[in-house]
Amino acid sequence: MKEVCILSGKGGAGKSSIVASMAVLLADRLEIIVGDCDVDAPNLALILGSSGDVECETIRASEKAFLVAERCKSRKKCVRVCRFNAIKWSARNSKPEINEFLCEGCGACEYICPDRAIDIKEVDTGKICYFRSDYGFGVVSGHLKIGERGSGKIVDSLRGKVSEIGRVEGLDLALLDSAAGIGCPVVSSVKGCDRAIIITEPTKAAINDSKRAIELVRHFGIPHSIIINKYDLNHEIAADIEDLADRNEIPIMGRIPYDLAFTDALVNGLPAVICNPHLKKLFRGIVEELMLNMGLD
Ligand code: SF4
């Protein structure tokens, strides 16, 4: 199974809307699976729907400190050693109190406590869920727990699940919808992919962020293309993006005009090509080029 990652340096560029429409059209031609790697804000299920059962598994990707109150002799050593201000002294209980949101699981408090009154334990950091979309193909989505770190590890687990399903079901293509930016979950989404598509729009912020996204995919040596969303909102900056692509020999895979049909689709919780079939021709061109690029035509 081949894997393509769709990313955008900047949030709000229309990445998930574009992924949903591409997925619906690709599923007419290929056996596909979609991975929602935006584990901070997994929203693809809202657009693609989820019919039938949803299977979820918990991911334990970080550790935290837990007080064993009956062993604590109230020496306050842990309060002094914590560099993250995660332990406060409770005068009322005469015991330390650990703030789970501030604890980084470094283990210093466990090490310093002579009474072994602190245990470091693995904790749930999120989950990955698998379901069938309303359009027949499978979707794996990752969900980070509030206040947790380890988003990259959740994406790693998600991609493991996508690969396993792809192997067992003999699928052709995985479409991975990355988070915005170039941080840890994006690195986990893009590494090892066969191709990347960078979604951008004609704004100064987007062009700047696209340069960082290009740097990222180049670092991993991944062939990539650009889609300019809402390209007709600012012809001058759109021309700058074309120029950037030209100088870096990056093919432009699609130019999507600003169209209220996308807003309409979002309001109705549907892929744009389903809500507004006049967009199908445009997206067919994009998916055909992707299939050609990936040897899946
Ligand atoms: S594990 Fe580290 S961060 Fe967490 S409470 Fe202990 S010293 Fe603080």
Pocket test for ligand 1, best of 72, 80, 89, 106 (most atoms within 8 A of CB): 106
C-alpha 65 to ligand 1 mean position (Å): 6
C-alpha 183 to ligand 1 mean position (Å): 24
C-alpha 76 to ligand 1 mean position (Å): 13
Please identify, by atom number, the ligand 1 atom nearest to the C-alpha of residue 118. 6
pLDDT for position 277: 85
C-alpha 110 to ligand 1 mean position (Å): 8
pLDDT for position 105: 93
Please identify, by atom number, the ligand 1 atom nearest to the C-alpha of residue 63. 1
Q: Is the CB of 105 under 6 A from ligand 1?
A: yes
Helices vs strands, H then E, count in the chain: 11, 13
pLDDT for position 11: 82
Q: Is the CB of 113 under 6 A from ligand 1?
A: no
Q: How far apart are CA 297 and CA 281, in angstroms?
A: 17
Pocket test for ligand 1, best of 63, 88, 98, 111 (most atoms within 8 A of CB): 98
3-state secondary structure (DSSP) of residue 254: strand
Q: How far apart are CA 225 and CA 96, in angstroms?
A: 54
pLDDT for position 236: 95
pLDDT for position 91: 93
The answer to whether domain 2-60+125-293 has CATH 1.10.287.110 is no
On whether ipTM exceeds 0.85, the answer is yes
Q: Is the CB of 226 under 6 A from ligand 1?
A: no
Strand extents, DSSP E, the chain: 2-8, 32-36, 51-59, 62-67, 87-90, 95-98, 118-123, 126-132, 138-144, 173-180, 195-200, 224-229, 252-256
- Domain range annotation of the chain: 2-60+125-293, 62-123
Alpha-carbon distances, residue 68 vs 6, 76, 97, 112, 119 (angstroms): 46, 14, 11, 14, 7
pLDDT for position 10: 80
Instruction: Name the residue with the closest Cα to ligand 1, atom 4.
Output: 103
Q: Which of the following CATH numbers is that of domain 62-123: 1.20.870.10, 3.30.70.20, 3.60.10.10, 3.40.605.10?
A: 3.30.70.20
According to DSSP, the β-strands at 95-98 and 118-123 are unpaired
pLDDT for position 229: 95
Pocket test for ligand 1, best of 62, 98, 103, 122 (most atoms within 8 A of CB): 103
Instruction: Name the residue with the closest Cα to ligand 1, atom 2.
Output: 106
Print pLDDT tens along the chain (297 aa). Answer: 999 999 998 888 889 999 999 999 999 999 999 999 999 989 899 999 987 889 999 999 889 999 999 999 999 999 999 999 999 999 999 999 999 999 999 999 999 999 999 999 999 999 999 999 999 999 999 999 988 877 899 999 999 999 999 999 999 999 999 998 888 999 999 999 999 999 999 999 988 899 999 999 999 999 999 999 999 999 999 999 999 999 999 999 999 999 998 889 989 999 999 988 889 999 999 999 999 999 998
Q: Is the CB of 67 under 6 A from ligand 1?
A: no
Alpha-carbon distances, residue 70 vs 95, 114, 116 (angstroms): 10, 14, 10
Q: Is the CB of 86 under 6 A from ligand 1?
A: yes
